[in-house]
Amino acid sequence: MAKTQAAAFGQTKPAPVKRRKPIGIGDIISYTILTIAAILVMMPLAWMFSTSLRPTQESFHLPPAWLPTEFRWENYLAPFDSSVPFVDLFINSMRITVAVTLGQLVTCSLAGYAFARLRFPGRDLLFLLLLASLMVPFQVTIIPIFLLMRDLGLIDDPLAIILPGLINAFGVFLMRQFFKQMPQELFDAARVDGAGHIRSFLQIALPLAGPAMATLGIITFNATWNAYFLPLVFLNSWHKMTLPQGIALLTGYMGSGNPSVVMAAVTMAIIPVLIVFIAAQRWIIEALTRSGLKG
Amino acid sequence: MQMTGLIPELTPRRREAFVGYLFILPTYVGFLIFILYPLVESMRISFQEFSLLRGSTYIGLENYAQMFADGRLRIAYINTIIFTLFAVFFNAGIGLLLAVMLNRRLPVLMRNLYRSIFFFPVLIAHTYIAVIWRFLYQQDTGVINYYLGLFGVEPIPWLSNTHWAMAAIIILDVWKNTGFAMLVFLAGLQSIPNEYYEAAQLDGANERQLFFRITIPLLSPTIFFILVIFMIGALQVFDTIIVLTAGGPGDATRSVVLYVYEIAFRTFNMGYAAAVSMTLFAIILVLTALQFWISRRWVHYE
């Protein structure tokens, strides 16, 4: 799913100005439904946050209080004292996520540039083959990858997750599309100045690829931060696990975990996502303004 | 910056090719090791009686034959198909509805705010959402049953009843993912030129005609894209289920991927697991091909 988010970003120009008409019954119905839907979407998150700040014994209070009634910030310290090594999990998740994101930015921009702007025998076939691999679900490849990692002694090692994460066929596609749109004159001018292919890539293409790199970086960061399947397969000791694994375990068998503490942990785990979200929104607006200036 | 030392003395054309291969090398090494090799290897393992300790022996199509007699696999497939049908329908349907309403005349601030709210759950891990909703779904203490109770609904055994458990997973999935459909549909709607609507209105078309004669046909590539993406995603449902119900009660919510995971990594019957995963792969390939074929017939690409 995350791979396709890029398709949706980018096109956020405001709706065309419709004919000026007085607000009708249809508009009022729309507002109402949209508002109800927005409230329904927010409620579980509001419950999460307000519960995370309440004393434990009140977390099952009905009717639920949607806004925090108390501010027990000490609930946010509890995950650090629990049986789950929360700090380790956070660091593990962050380390894997940063390594995978940076790795993909390097491999995808290199390959995307080659497929977009360099000529070499077999180029289009190699690109198609890579694209076709997007149809292979990772559940199909996980068993041989598991056996491979076992032979390499990488079970319970973050490298087992980082290594397969370093490439991304979708990312290559995204970067290729971006590099293809760049005007040829830029590269011709560089060639006249005596720049080779590597310098054209590093000094001309890459500095202009900010928006595409940001899109890829955001998507990859989010997907890796949220990943559950691969860590579940490869990481099994407490100090090696990632945050989603740890929080699922903190919840306990059949939800026996302490709701306030679990919700405090989930809130903390969502914060990086929220930051990325806010950053992405600002980036979208910026990209819009820039394209507006050009146009 | 002296870079030429990296590249052997070659003709310009050969040098370009050399740099090209150099640039795709990291990606292709990864592709060969982590996609192509495992894919071929997975096929090979699917013909084996696999054992981590004793070594493996080839048993031909026995794993594939075994599937027909495997009642649990049949249930897992039925569950997965039911989940897929409902999840795709509601995710795409509600997403389209929200997008159409957001595309009406709205204050810009309101549109942007609602779009952000609807989209935000897409970015949160399935795991965390399942953790939150497991508390909300509790029969006696859960928030959802409390509010339904205000309308006179008896407490629903969301996670302990075979039918309701599947409903619980579908509702969660729609809550989380419909925002993605909404975002893509909204972008699609905004790319439809306004002149089409104006021309049709001059000809006296009403709102319903505008929607079914202009919006839907012009939006069909987007609808098609969303259907494919959601279908492929839904067929692989795993994270939500393992956290929310762990496949239960009984086998009521066990999906194919969860089943594969359990045979492969809990009982280490990897030959059989590989064979089952191959069937899922085949289904996804066929669906993708079919979708593209159908799309040629009814999708309007401009």
CB–CB of B17 and A111 under 8 A? no
Question: Residue A241: what pLDDT?
Answer: 92
Which of B131, B194, B202 is the best residue to mutate to test the A interface, defined by the most A CB atoms within 10 Å of its own CB? B131
Question: Residue A289: what pLDDT?
Answer: 39
ipTM of the prediction: 0.85
Which of the two residues, A109 and B142, has the higher pLDDT score?
A109
Q: How confident is the model at residue A292 (pLDDT cuts 50, 70, 90)?
A: very low
SS3 labels along B110-139 = HHHHHHHHHHHHHHCCHHHHHHHHHHHCCC
Question: Residue A252: what pLDDT?
Answer: 67
- Taking contacts as CB-CB distances below 8 angstroms, the residues of chain B near A21 are 105
Query: A-B interface: how many C-beta pairs under 8 angstroms?
Result: 286
- Same structural domain, B273 and B215: yes
Question: Residue A45: what pLDDT?
Answer: 92
Over residues B265-277, mean pLDDT: 92
- Same structural domain, B59 and B76: no
In a domain, B244, yes or no: yes
Which of A61, A120, A125 is the best residue to mutate to test the B interface, defined by the most B CB atoms within 10 Å of its own CB? A120
Name which of A16, A288, A10, A291 is nearest B193 in CA terms.
A16
Which of B11, B32, B34, B63 is the best residue to mutate to test the A interface, defined by the most A CB atoms within 10 Å of its own CB? B34
> Using CB atoms, which residue from A133, A167, A248 is nearest to B127?
A248
Decide if pLDDT at A114 tops 90. Answer: yes
What lies within 8 Å, CB to CB, of A263 at 6+ separation is A48, A49, A51, A52, A59, A75, B132, B135
Tell me if chain B has a CB within 8 Å of the CB of A57.
no
Q: How confident is the model at residue B301 (pLDDT cuts 50, 70, 90)?
A: low
Q: What are the pLDDT digits (tens) for A173-199?
A: 889 988 988 888 888 888 888 888 899
- Look up the pTM and report it: 0.86
- Same structural domain, B20 and B92: no
Contact yes or no for B87/B234 (Cβ under 8 A): yes
- Same structural domain, B27 and B148: no
In a domain, B2, yes or no: no
In a domain, B106, yes or no: yes
Final residue in a domain of this structure, among B63, B81, B105: B63
CB–CB of B38 and A222 under 8 A? no
- Same structural domain, B57 and B80: no
In a domain, B3, yes or no: no
Question: Residue A257: what pLDDT?
Answer: 66
Question: Residue B164: what pLDDT?
Answer: 94
Q: What domain count does chain B have? A: 2
Q: How confident is the model at residue B223 (pLDDT cuts 50, 70, 90)?
A: confident
Domains belonging to chain A, first-starting first, are: 27-71 (no CATH), 79-294 (1.10.3720.10)
- Same structural domain, B45 and B147: no
- Taking contacts as CB-CB distances below 8 angstroms, the residues of chain A near B36 are 133
Question: Residue A294: what pLDDT?
Answer: 30
Q: How confident is the model at residue B165 (pLDDT cuts 50, 70, 90)?
A: very high
In a domain, B279, yes or no: yes
Of A36-45, A68-77, A250-259, B99-108, the least confident:
A250-259
Tell me if chain A has a CB within 8 Å of the CB of B137.
no
Name which of A19, A291, A16, A25 is nearest B189 in CA terms.
A16
Which of the two residues, A27 and A288, has the higher pLDDT score?
A27
Question: Residue B4: what pLDDT?
Answer: 53
Over residues A22-41, mean pLDDT: 88
Q: What are the pLDDT digits (tens) for B15-48?
A: 899 999 999 999 999 999 999 999 999 999 999 8
Q: What are the pLDDT digits (tens) for B56-85?
A: 788 888 889 998 999 999 999 999 999 999
- Same structural domain, B52 and B111: no
Spatial separation of the C-alpha atoms in residues B27 and B149, rounded to whole Å: 55
CB–CB of A15 and B103 under 8 A? yes
Decide if pLDDT at A291 tops 60. Answer: no
Question: Residue B47: what pLDDT?
Answer: 93
Question: Residue A24: what pLDDT?
Answer: 79
In a domain, B200, yes or no: yes
Q: Report the CATH number at residue B133.
A: 1.10.3720.10
Which of the two residues, A111 and A251, has the higher pLDDT score?
A111
Domain interval for residue B41: 9-63
- Same structural domain, B112 and B261: yes
Q: How confident is the model at residue B168 (pLDDT cuts 50, 70, 90)?
A: very high
Name which of A108, A107, A106, A116 is nearest A176 in CA terms.
A116
Which of B132, B190, B192 is the best residue to mutate to test the A interface, defined by the most A CB atoms within 10 Å of its own CB? B132
Question: Residue A104: what pLDDT?
Answer: 96
Q: Is B252 left (phi over 0), alpha (psi -120 to 50) or beta?
A: alpha
Give the chain B residue nearest A200 (alpha carbons): B3
Core vs surface per residue B44-79: b (16+ CB within 10 A) or e: ebbbbbbeeeeeeeeeeeebeebeeeeeebebbbeb
- Same structural domain, B270 and B284: yes
- Taking contacts as CB-CB distances below 8 angstroms, the residues of chain B near A62 are 141, 143, 146
Tell me if chain B has a CB within 8 Å of the CB of A271.
no
- Same structural domain, B73 and B120: yes
- Taking contacts as CB-CB distances below 8 angstroms, the residues of chain A near B116 are 277, 281
**Mean pLDDT for chain A overall:** 82
> Using CB atoms, which residue from B30, B128, B191 is nearest to A166?
B30
In a domain, B94, yes or no: yes
How much of chain A, in percent, has pLDDT values that exceed 70? 84
User: Which residues 118-147 in chain A show a CB within 8 A of chain B?
Assistant: 118-121, 123, 126, 130, 133, 135-137, 139-147
CB–CB of B103 and A130 under 8 A? no
- Same structural domain, B47 and B113: no
- Taking contacts as CB-CB distances below 8 angstroms, the residues of chain A near B210 are none
Contact yes or no for B100/B215 (Cβ under 8 A): yes
Question: Residue A288: what pLDDT?
Answer: 39
- Taking contacts as CB-CB distances below 8 angstroms, the residues of chain B near A10 are 187
CA angle B141, B146, B147 (to 5 degrees): 150
Q: How confident is the model at residue A256 (pLDDT cuts 50, 70, 90)?
A: low
Decide if pLDDT at A1 tops 90. Answer: no
Spatial separation of the C-alpha atoms in residues B152 and B143, rounded to whole Å: 14
Which of the two residues, B5 and B11, has the higher pLDDT score?
B11
Name which of A138, A226, A217 is nearest A175 in CA terms.
A217
Question: Residue B6: what pLDDT?
Answer: 58
Tell me if chain A has a CB within 8 Å of the CB of B269.
no
Q: How confident is the model at residue A287 (pLDDT cuts 50, 70, 90)?
A: very low
CA angle A35, A37, A39 (to 5 degrees): 70
CB–CB of A244 and B274 under 8 A? no
Which of the two residues, A59 and A235, has the higher pLDDT score?
A235
How much of chain B, in percent, has pLDDT values that exceed 90? 45
Decide if pLDDT at A295 tops 50. Answer: no
User: Which residues 190-229 in chain B show a CB within 8 A of chain A?
Assistant: 190-191, 193-194, 198, 201, 207, 225, 229
Question: Residue B167: what pLDDT?
Answer: 95
Q: How confident is the model at residue B139 (pLDDT cuts 50, 70, 90)?
A: confident
Q: What are the pLDDT digits (tens) for B237-263?
A: 999 999 999 888 989 999 999 999 999
- Taking contacts as CB-CB distances below 8 angstroms, the residues of chain A near B125 are 225-228, 244, 269, 273
Q: How far is CA B288 from CA A8, B88, B230, in A?
A: 20, 15, 11
- Same structural domain, B287 and B179: yes
Final residue in a domain of this structure, among B43, B63, B83: B63
Tell me if chain B has a CB within 8 Å of the CB of A266.
yes
Q: Is A10 left (phi over 0), alpha (psi -120 to 50) or beta?
A: left
CA distance B57 to chain A (A): 16
- Taking contacts as CB-CB distances below 8 angstroms, the residues of chain B near A38 are 113-114, 117-118
Of A5-9, B22-26, B39-43, B229-233, the least confident:
A5-9
In a domain, B288, yes or no: yes
Highest mean pLDDT (candidates A98-102, B98-102, B108-112): A98-102
